[in-house]
Structure formats: structure tokens, C-alpha cells
Amino acid sequence: MSTYSATFFLGTKAHFRGNTSVHPVFYVEPDGKHRPGHITFQHGSELSIDEQLEIADRFAKAATAWRDEIAARADQQRTAADELEAARSEIARLKAEAVRDA
């Protein structure tokens, strides 16, 4: 097993794919193309199919939790923006009403 850290920034063109060959592989292609700069996750040949499945399940669980956290933050930001827009609309309505009543 290699021990190093690397950071890849994912954009809207990022592509994710896997295959279930003899040694299952999962590719992350940050720029959407299979060229230098892609990441490959592969199971070792010594792992049983049950061990491979356990690893894939943990990988999927972490990816799903990451996605869910981003979705929750997006919902919070949308809610805040919606509330701000509603407050602005109410202020405009009250100003218009004050001018009309003056």
C-alpha cells in the first residue's frame, strides 16, 4: 500500500467510473478524461470477494455521507437566500404602503 497524500480539485466535468474485472477498479477523473491526473482505486489480489465488497460498501458510505452534507449546506443556503428575498419583498411592500398612505 502506498502512503502519500494528494489533492485533486473536482469540477463539473469530473467523471467517476468503475469496473468489476478480476481486480475491481474505480477511477476518478477530475477533468473528465482518462489521462495523467486521474486516480485509480483497486483491490489487492489477496482480498476475497467479501472483503472487496466490504471495502466498496465503506467507500460508498463515505461518498454518500459527503454528498448528503453538501446537500444539507446547499439547502441551508437556499433557505437563507429565500428568506432574504422574502424580507426584501416585505420591506418593499411596506414602503409602498407607507407612501400610498402618506
Residues 66, 100, single domain; the answer is yes
Q: Output the pLDDT for position 43.
A: 87
pLDDT value at position 1?
Answer: 60
| Whether 29 and 64 share a structural domain | no
> Structural domain tally of the chain?
2
* pLDDT reading at 21 higher than 80: no
Of 28, 35, 25, the C-alpha closest to 9 is 28
Q: pLDDT value at position 15?
A: 92
35 and 83 together in one domain? no
User: How far is CA 6 from each of CA 2, 17, 31, 44, 82, rounded to the nearest angstrom?
Assistant: 12, 19, 15, 21, 38
Find the mean pLDDT for residues 33-62.
Answer: 89
> Which amino acid makes up residue 46?
E
pLDDT at 62 over 90: yes
Domain of 3?
1-45
Same domain, yes or no: 58 and 82:
yes
Q: Are residues 69 and 101 in the same domain?
A: yes
What is the predicted pLDDT for the residue at 53? 92
Q: Please indicate whether residue 1 or residue 16 has the higher confidence score (pLDDT).
A: 16
Q: Do residue 55 and residue 36 come from a single domain?
A: no
